[in-house]
Structure 1
Amino acid sequence: MFLTTQQTILLPQIIKVLAEPQPDCALRLRLGNLLTRLLHADQFVSYVWNPAGKRFDDRVAIDMSDANLRNYEAYFQYNDPITHRLRARSKPTLVTEIVPQAELVRTEFFNDFLARDFLYWGMNVHVPIDGESTGDIRIWRSQQKGNFDATDLALLAIIAPAFGAALRRCKDTPTGAPGDAQGADEALALGLTRKEHEISRMVAMGLTDKQIASRLDISFSTVRTHLKHVFYKLSVNNRAQLIRRLR
């Protein structure tokens, strides 16, 4: 397996991130930012399969439309011709191993969901967390970049066991941080994820998006994506309204 200089630098960084104690969403966002660079990908999405609700929850995404992903969660995940077949594989798999690309591009799923964010070539891995619950990595490229290859699959295969172990630690290890239970209750009451609530509180403290990104070790665009979710959920249009809403 031949790796570029950038890949030989990024792979140990990814393994290090997966070994560090951190909340689930922060873990997946940091991983996504590194993986898109490692695999020369354009988009990253990650969900956790909820077996009780029979749906994918706890979305984390990079460079995808929030509105498009809400459509996925409301409709397309229940009319998805590829993801459950990929999930059944339990190993890194190209989408084209599940369905020929020429067949995929004729589906509603492709034309009304994937194509809207220019997702063309895909690769998934789904790892066990607890019982039937799984966490996933969904990596996509535009048509112009070409499909993923055997090296990309091998890299994801190296990362997958550490990713699964990290998700299980997130689930099994209580944070124990002062005020953490109160913060979780506040987030639940507002309908926010813990990460969205954490970012909202930093906004209320007067931090800029760049400062928040630096503190949480995530990208500026990821902070903006979370804030878009917060604005939508709390029906506010700007930071001043958000601060008033939190108070």
Structure 2
Amino acid sequence: MSLLERFLLLYKESIKDITSVIPNKVELESELGVGTVFVIYTNWLPFYGVILDKDEMIKFAYLTTFLPLASLEAPILKVNDLFEETKLTHLVFEIEEPVAKRFFKALKPVKHPQQIRDTVEKLKNLHYGRIHREFFNLEEKSVRLLLQLMNEDEKIIYPPHQVIEKFRQLIQTKAVAATGMKTSRVGDLIVVQDELGMRLFFPDEYKSRSGEIYLFDELIFRGKLNDGLLIRNLPNLISYLSEGVIEIKLTDQEN
């Protein structure tokens, strides 16, 4: 096994729990301009980037912290945060500025933003071998997952610890084969499993009304019952659902 292959295995081990990542909102919004190096803190590891352009959308290049598999042609950018150094990559993403302001913490500006943009274009045109291609594909998936969670933040329900524990106990006592089920009906509630978690779609008489959602008799949500509410971090929950496991209660008076 080559040294690069060993590094790739080490990297894969380090991201094995990435699907449970939770982005953290900033306490104070930062000024985000072209050339700003920023960080997104999570419950896992921080993500770094540098803003390349700013119009209706913020365009940024991802800065990797896993230096052994970064391009040899990529410059090191010091961030002096939880990680001291990162490396520029050719991976470029876009996000709406209001969303970015809720999650991006500005760290420092780069001196020559145009030089960074030129280097990103140079990195895009390099030929990458199999290991580097796999590494950057995994990096891209991780960033896209994080951005999707940030974009859908207002819809996401993160169950409390006691709910996760009750789910684990249910799995231990009631073996259910993973069926690959994607859609289920619990009473009048439609539940859809996608790559992010379990989405809830309500009957017409519930839509946009105020209510509470209970899972294993624990309150996990209180607010507007809008279609697409997403329950995270309970994999394969859809296989265990029943009217006794999940319950919806209206809390307002019907007009």
- Bigger RCO of structures 1 and 2 (CA < 8 A, at least 6 apart): 1
More helix by share: 1
Higher Cα Rg, which structure: 2
Query: Taking structure 2 as the reference length, what is the TM-score of the superposition?
Result: 0.30
Task: With the length of structure 1 as denominator, give the TM-score of the two structures.
Answer: 0.30
